[in-house]
Amino acid sequence: MIEGFRKKPNDYKKKIDQIITLISVNMDSTKEGIQILQELISETEKLLSK
């Protein structure tokens, strides 16, 4: 899906896979996944302003 976009965050698919893997019943792991998601959102927002 993301491959069709000209502008996209670096390693988008890898980061999404990592986020999905980290979100679990383990609170520390979930927090790490949320942090990566927030960074990905920020990176995506920067692409929109270019």
Task: Map out the domains of the chain as residue ranges.
Answer: 2-48
pLDDT recorded at residue 6:
85
pLDDT recorded at residue 2:
81
Cα(26)–Cα(3) distance, integer angstroms: 31
pLDDT recorded at residue 31:
97
Give the per-residue SS3 of the chain.
Answer: CHHHCCCCCCCHHHHHHHHHHHCCCCHHHHHHHHHHHHHHHHHHHHHHCC
**For the whole model, what pTM was predicted?**
0.84
Q: Is the C-alpha dihedral spanning 35, 38, 42, 48 positive or negative?
A: positive
pLDDT digits (tens, 9 = 90+) for 2-42: 888 888 899 999 999 999 999 999 999 999 999 999 999 99
